[in-house]
Amino acid sequence: MFRTLSGISVKGIEKTMENQKKLERLENFEGVAGPVLTIVMDGVGIAPAGPTNAVSRAFTATLDKLMATRPMVTLKAHGTAVGLPTDDDMGNSEVGHNALGSGQVFAQGAKLVSQSIESGKMFTSATWGELIDNVKNNGSTLHFLGLFSDGNVHSHIDHLKAMIVEAKKEGVKRVRLHILLDGRDVGETSALDYIEPFEEFMSGLRAPDFDIKIASGGGRMQITMDRYEANWAMVERGWHTHVLGEGRQFASAAEAVKTYRDELHVIDQDLPAFVIAEDGKPVGTIEDGDSVIFYNFRGDRSIEISRAFDAPAGDFDKFDRVRVPSVVYAGMLEYDGDLHIPKKYLVNPPEITNTLGEYLAGTGISQLAISETQKYGHVTYFWNGNRSGKFSEELETYIEVPSDVVPFEQRPWMKCAEITDKLIECLESGKYKYLRVNFPNGDMVGHTGSLEATICSMEALDLQLGRLLAVVERLHGVAIITADHGNADEMAELDKKTHEPKKNADGSYKPKTSHTLNRVPCILYNASGKDLGLREDKGTFGLSNVAATMVNLMGYKAPAMWDESMLEIR
C-alpha cells in the first residue's frame, strides 16, 4: 500500500561530522516539546469569495476556524518571490517547494533559460554545438519536443522560437516539432491560439534550404509528460507518436485539434495523440543520426521521456521502445542533478544549497516527508533543492502513498485520508521531530477545471486537517499550515477590467485550469503551551520565510543565508 524509504542503512550518515551543516541553538527559546509539522495544501490560495472560488465555496469548518482564530499571515508564492523573472509569472509546485525547503530564493528555470538565450551563452555551449554539428554532418533532422505554450511553468514558446531561428542561422536544413498541448497553465482550449500564429512564424522561416514542420503532438496529460513514474503508459504513447510516427494521421496540427474537439469534447490537455502525415507517411519520425531537444525547463515531467531517450537498447524496462534510434539527445536543463538526467543539457540548473533538510540532518533531527505519488517528489526532491535521495539514511523517512490512476475530477478526495492515516501513525510513534506533508487536492483537482470536483476536494482536505490537528494538540506540537501557490481559489477566467468571472455563450463559467497569482495562507497552530505568534504581516513575507520559522519552532537559529523567520516568541 505504501512505498517507504526509511532509515535502515548500517553505514549511518554518509557525511563526516566535519562536513555536516549544523544549526545553533536559540538563546531565548528552547523550542517546543512536541512534534513540528509543515502542512502544504497544494494549490490553495487566498482570493475574494465568489461563485468560482472553490476554497471559499467549500464547507471547510476547520480551515475557516483556523483563519479566524489562529495567528496568520499571507505569503507571496509567485514571480520574483520564488525566483521567476517577473511578478506576472505564476508560481508552481516545483519552485514553491524549492523556496519552502531551502529558505532562500534562487533564479529558476525560466529565468535561467531566458538569460542564457539573451546572452547567447546557450548557443556557445558544447551541447548546442554537438546537436547542430550532428545534423549538419549527417544531413539529418533537428527535432524539438516540449510543451507548446507561454505558460512559463514548464516551458515557454519564445525559447523554442529563439532556438529555431538560431538553428537556421547556423545552417540546419530540416527541423521537426513535436508539440505537447497545454490547456493547464494557459487557457484550457487555447491550443489554436499558439498553433496558428506558429504556422505563420514557420512560413516566414521556410526557404529552399530550410524545411520546418510540426510532426506530431497531443495533450500533455495524455502523452509524454508523466511524472514520478505514475503512468509510464503516457510516455510509451508519446514514444510511439513522436519517434515511431504511429497514430491517427492528420494534415495539420490545427486539423487534429479541431477534429478531436468536435469528436471528444475534451480540453487541450486531454487531446489524444496525433501524427502529421503527407501522402499517408509521417512527416517527422525520429531516425538514426538525428538530434533531439526536449525544451521544457521544469524537471518533474521531463525526466521519464529523457530516460527513454538516454537509455541504450536493452537497458530500459519501462516499455518496449520497438526501435531505439541513435540520436544526440539533450534537455533544456539537467532535470536530476544526482542521477544526471539527461546526460546532455543546454543550461545549467540553479545550484540550490544549504537546505532545511540538510541542516536538520546535520543537527541530528529526525524527519518525515509524506505525500501521494502526484506530489511525493515535491516534499522530497524539490524540497531538498532538486536533489535525489536523502541527507541521512538514519534520520529521514520518506513515504509515498500511490496515487490512483484515474481522472482527478472523478475521485477528488484523492489519497488525503490514506496520507493522514499514515501521518497520524508517524506522529504518534514519537520517532520524528520534524514532519512535512503535501496534500495535492487543491492543485491536481483544480487543474481539471471542474468547480464542483474542486469544492469536493477542499472539503475532503478539510476533514483531514481536523483529524491531524487533533493529534498535534494531544502531542503538544505545532503546525504551520500553508500552500505552495494558488489554484483552487480561482476556478474561472476573470475579466481583466471587472475582475468578475467570464462566462461562455451558454451562461456557464469559462473554466480556468492554471495557477493563480494570489497569495497563500500561513497559519500557526500552536498546541505547545508556549506563548508564540507570527510577526506583523506587512505584505513582505514569501514562501522562503517558512524554513527559518520551522527551525525557530524547534529552538534553533536560522542560518544566515536564509530569509528571516516569521515567528514571534513572546
Which residues are known to be catalytic?
93
Whether 84 and 98 have beta carbons less than 8 Å apart is answered as no
Whether 445 and 414 have beta carbons less than 8 Å apart is answered as yes
d(CA 99, CA 380): 13
**CA dist 553 to 30, 67, 307, 534, Å?**
9, 20, 41, 11
Reduced to 3 states (helix: H, G, I; strand: E, B; else coil), residue 90 is: coil
Dihedral, CA of residue 381, residue 386, residue 391 and residue 394, to nearest 10: 10
Q: H or E stretch including 143?
A: strand 142-147
**CA dist 139 to 202, 292, 507, Å?**
20, 14, 54
Name the residue type at position 549. Answer: T
Taking alpha carbons only, the member of 178, 183, 154 closest to residue 284 is 178
Name the residue type at position 191. Answer: A
d(CA 473, CA 37): 12
Q: What are phi and psi of 371, to 5 degrees?
A: -165, 180
Q: What are phi and psi of 274, to 5 degrees?
A: -145, 155
Residue 312 makes CB contacts below 8 A (sequence gap 6+) with 324
Whether 474 and 29 have beta carbons less than 8 Å apart is answered as no
Name the residue type at position 15. Answer: K
d(CA 430, CA 42): 26
Instruction: Give the number of other Cβ atoms within 10 Å of residue 19's Cβ.
Output: 9
Taking alpha carbons only, the member of 333, 320, 308, 304 closest to residue 227 is 304
For cell 465568489, the residue is 50
